[in-house]
Amino acid sequence: THSKRQKVSRSGYRSTNDDTILVQYHYNSRPKVDISKRGESKIIFMRNFNNWVKSVLIGRHAVRGGTVLDLGCGKGGDLLKWKKAGIARYIGLDIAEVAIKHAKERWRDMKVRSTIKNKGRKFVVEFNTLDCFSFPLSTKISRTCEFDVVSMQFSLHYAFENKSRARMALRNITSNLKQGGKFIGTIPDANWIVKRLKALPKDELAFGNEIYNIRFEQKETFPTFGHKYWFWLADAVDCPEYLVHFRTFERLAAEYGLELKYKKRFHDVYNEAKDEQTFRELLYVMKVIRENPDDGEMSEAEWEAAGLYIAFAFEKVR
């Protein structure tokens, strides 16, 4: 039970509000190993596909021997992808302390199974809890650290509750990002979501299929920030989210020296990358496509849900 009022910390930054607490609670309640990873989930192919898209994005932007900041890193599910991309230092931050505990355990297990050296280099990994949309990064990491890449996978949209949180996100993304460094991420495609909402009969506010559901509270006004909806994904998510009005995001990002270089729907990332040899092989390695057709394939419902997302990349030009 938390007070309805936003608290202001001694440093003057607003601490987490009710919706943020819901999001935090939701991600803290996630089991250590998702049902979706046990192979019996309805979204196993979609989960693998989303991981493949992230691998494409990471593969294209990682700098060998470089440093990475992962905001909203969850249980550290991308750690192996970054390790494979040959980076030297990884810092993951998330608001959910239970997720961070699991991430630390994952890293400990990885260290036991292999060496901490990554392609001959030392691989340094840190995880920490932080509400990255309320507090500046400097409260958790040293200012001397500069990043080649900042990554936000399926997490930036939680910042679009209001402008000040979106600004704090962008401040944290860019404050330690090198000139020429990249900011990569994945978010739901607000454009597609709003099109679906507008196509609904007059009194209806929800759409989806057997694996996902999106429910709005109203459709009279379309604010650029705080446009809330409830998102449910089988075996994965059930919490409030906010539309990321992309043009607004791009304009705000420009104020922080970021220039958009790449933006594609997941379906188009697939069409573009599936014939490149490395990524083609990865489709099989990551079990997006099974060698043996008897082992199943992605359902129509999963493909539709995967089409909800876009991948993007910005460069810090100023």
Q: Annotated binding site for mRNA, which residues? A: 50-51
Q: What's the rounded Cα separation, in Å, for the pair 216 and 268?
A: 27
Distance CA 66, CA 64 (A): 5
Q: Which of 43, 49, 53, 72 binds ligand SAM (CB under 6 A)?
A: 72
Among 77, 181, 185, 188, binds ligand SAM (CB under 6 A): 77
How do strand 89-94 and strand 309-316 relate by DSSP bridges? Answer: unpaired
Q: Between 259 and 262, name the residue whose CB sits nearer to ligand SAM.
A: 262
Tokens of 37: 């990873």
Near ligand SAM by CB under 6 A: residue from 96, 125, 141, 253: 96
Considering only residues 124 through 153, tell me which ones interact with ligand SAM, judged by CB under 6 A: 131-133, 153
> Shortest gap between Cβ of 120 and ligand SAM (angstroms)?
28
Please report how close the Cβ of residue 121 comes to ligand SAM at its closest, in angstroms.
24
Exposure string over 274-285, b if 16+ CB within 10 A, otherwise e: eeeeebeebbee
Q: Which of 23, 43, 125, 193 binds ligand SAM (CB under 6 A)?
A: 23
Of 155, 172, 174, 176, which lies in the binding site for ligand SAM, with binding defined by CB under 6 A? Answer: 155
Contact 208, 307 (CB under 8 A): no
Selected from 46, 79, 91, 99, the binder of ligand SAM by CB under 6 A is 99
The answer to whether 219 touches 205, Cβ cutoff 8 Å, is yes
Sign of the Cα pseudo-torsion (23, 92, 51, 315, in order) = positive
CA distances from 128 to 97, 220, 262 (A): 8, 40, 29
Token look-up 């199943």 returns 296
Total site size for ligand SAM, rule CB under 6 A: 18
The contact set with ligand SAM (CB under 6 A) reads 20, 23, 27, 72-74, 77, 94-96, 99, 131-133, 153-155, 158
